[in-house]
Amino acid sequence: MEVSQAQAQSPAASSRPHVKRAGAGARFVAMLKRRQLVLLTLFILLAAWEIAPRALNIPDYLLPPPSQVLTAFLGQWQRTLAATWITTTVMLGGYLIAIVVSIPLALLIVSSRVVEDTVEPIMLVFQVIPKIAIAPLFIVWFGFGYTPKTMLVFLLAFFPITLSAVAGFRAVDPDIMDLARSTGASRWSMFRKIKLPQALPQIFTGLKVGVALASTGAVVAEFIASDRGLGYLLLEWRGELDTPMVFAGVFVISFVGIVVYYAVEAIERITIPWHASQRDPAAMGA
Amino acid sequence: MEPGSTSAAGIQKAGGGREIAVKNVSKVFTTDETRTEALRDISLTIREGEFVSIVGPSGCGKSTLLRLIAGLMPVTSGSIEIGGKTVTQPITDVGIVFQKPVLLEWRNALENVLIQPELRGLDPRAYEQRARDLLAAVGLSGFEGAYPRQLSGGMQQRASIARALVHDPSLLLMDEPLGALDALTREQVRVDLEELWLSTGKTVLFITHSIDEAVLLSDRVVIMSPRPGLIDRIIDIDLPRPRGLEGRKASAFKEAEEAITRIFLERGVLKRGQPFAAIHRPGA
């Protein structure tokens, strides 16, 4: 409260953009400064990992040092990245379908008592089913190829996105909806001007949870039902006891997940800057 | 300050056609297991341009009554008419202020006021100057660009009052609008509210917990008692306007306040001397 009081004293500050514009280089340096403890910790971990296998005489097929992983990756980078591309399309395909299905469904659940009473309890039960356990069924139904893999990704990402969107739409203050009703506004304009922006922060939370599940789903689907993609390659490398490449593959798919995650976060910052700046006091110039 | 505004009965506008008539209204909330009688047989007429307060303890159904008048929920029995027309759906010639400001956090103060014409399908640009004027009138000039999180609770509530006025409704429904404010802000907003009412002549229905506020602001105070909510008594407040900060000095103020306090004492809503001495102390 004191903070908001203090800011209220300088109205001029509010018309300023929340994020100060700085050169990309300066921002990178500032980021490094903020993250230096994290970077230091990472460096120490990597160094320990590099030294430990040699010091303790651990064979490469159990725990290869990072330098070995890098060398192995550089030897097969084209094949790895080609497989990664396939995995990424599966992941993004299922993820996008999940978004397109989840948000209208969430809206239906919160706006119709009948849908709420029928669909929501069923969803909550389905959510408990380990989706990966039914993946083999998808092969029976859809064969190999994109369909069963995309379906698995979709199923994994669908629940967190739908549930968070439902929570977001429900969190809209009933008083503001009463006020909106007293204007005679159409349901569409109430949705567009109040409900959707109000729910977006929670929707984005669900979208970010969905990213991690989507990459898990894509790799697992390729373990089970594929002759291509990073999941398939991981199995192949494991079969050959090529542990450095298994590590490399894990790093690459994690990297893809991180990129997609930050892409979603960037969209979040653009779509709802008021929320991002509220969550991150540094962005407000405080 | 304004000539002709000293009538204790409030401003009598010509016509008086927008009278609110609440006739034998009851409201029952039912769920699968419970049946709660929120209001029983409420009858009340609010004249056009009148400032009427409802006081009563929590659970007396005063907020429910306000929502019924606004057409935000249906009555169980009885009827509500505004200007002779029965209320069957949300009324639109109205400005509503709640206890919470409920501003939209992604809009600055000005944009929050302009949501009102936007939702009404009116051109917000045509209302921008009026919105700025209103923000200035409620003491927020210079804060048009400030976001809700940058405003104190009192400032947010002032913005929400501007939002309730921007489309110039003839009726203002206020549900404990000062309840969440600190004492000083509360006093200031109360005085400002009287000024506003005197200069615009809107009909105001004002819900409050505060006997003091009700007496200082109103032409009439409706006293409600709980479970089920019903109207206990209606008291005319015969005090000159504007009452401002000085209104408490008048003997009529003290009489009205005491009369209401006495009613609450009789009903057991207020009690003298709680028996804390009788509370058991372990080991004593």
pLDDT band at A17 (very low <50, low <70, confident <90, very high): very low
Question: Which member of A183, A194, A198 has the closest CB to residue B120?
Answer: A183
CA B128 to chain CA centroid, Å, is 26
Alpha-carbon span B119 to A276, nearest angstrom: 26
Q: Does residue A10 register a pLDDT over 60? A: no
Question: Which member of A15, A176, A181 has the closest CB to residue B90?
Answer: A181
B41, HSE (Cβ side, Cα atoms, 13 Å): 1
Which chain B residues have a beta carbon less than 8 Å from that of A7? 146, 150
Question: Which member of A1, A198, A274 has the closest CB to residue B147?
Answer: A274
Q: Which residue of B has its CA nearest to A188?
A: B119
Alpha-carbon span B142 to A242, nearest angstrom: 67
Q: Does residue B282 register a pLDDT over 60? A: yes
Whole-number percent of chain B with pLDDT over 90: 22
Whole-number percent of chain A with pLDDT over 90: 34
Which chain A residues have a beta carbon less than 8 Å from that of B90? 178, 181-182, 184
Q: What's the pLDDT score for residue A14?
A: 43
Radius of gyration of chain B (CA): 20
Radius of gyration of chain A (CA): 24
Distance from CA of A52 to the nearest CA of B (A): 51
Question: Which member of B104, B121, B146 has the closest CB to residue A8?
Answer: B146
Which chain B residues have a beta carbon less than 8 Å from that of A274? 105-106, 147
Q: Are A181 and B92 in contact (CB under 8 A)?
A: no
pLDDT band at B13 (very low <50, low <70, confident <90, very high): very low
Both tokens of residue A201? 């922060």
Q: What's the pLDDT score for residue B5?
A: 39
CA B142 to chain CA centroid, Å, is 27
Which chain A residues have a beta carbon less than 8 Å from that of B167? 183
* Pairing, β B77-82 against β B85-86: antiparallel
Q: How confident is the model over B167-208, as pLDDT tens digits?
A: 989 999 999 888 878 888 888 888 888 988 998 889 999 999
Query: Strand, helix or coil at B223?
Result: strand
Query: Which of B272 and B204 is assigned the larger pLDDT?
Result: B204
Angle (CA) A206 B104 B112, round 5°: 150
B87, HSE (Cβ side, Cα atoms, 13 Å): 32
Q: What's the pLDDT score for residue B1?
A: 39
Which chain B residues have a beta carbon less than 8 Å from that of A4? 149-152
Distances (CA, A) of A223 to A219, B44, B174: 6, 73, 62
* Pairing, β B203-208 against β B220-225: unpaired
Q: Does residue B283 register a pLDDT over 80? A: no
Q: Does residue A277 register a pLDDT over 70? A: no
Region of poorest pLDDT, from A172-181, B198-207, B209-218, B242-251? B242-251
pLDDT band at A279 (very low <50, low <70, confident <90, very high): low
Could you tell me the end-to-end alpha-carbon distance of chain A, in angstroms, rounded to an integer? 14
A264: nearest Cα among A151, A103, A99: A99
Both tokens of residue A236? 């192949």
User: Would you call A179 and B102 a contact, using CB atoms and an 8 Å cutoff?
Assistant: yes
DSSP A246: H
pLDDT band at A16 (very low <50, low <70, confident <90, very high): very low
Q: What's the pLDDT score for residue A28?
A: 78
Q: Does residue A21 register a pLDDT over 80? A: no
Query: Strand, helix or coil at B206?
Result: strand
Query: Which of A32 and B37 is assigned the larger pLDDT?
Result: B37
pLDDT band at A4 (very low <50, low <70, confident <90, very high): very low
Both tokens of residue A260? 């997609």
Tell whether B112 is within 8 A of chain A (Cβ): no
Q: Does residue B53 register a pLDDT over 90? A: yes
| Residue of A2, A4, A189 to mutate, interface with B, max B Cβ within 10 Å | A4
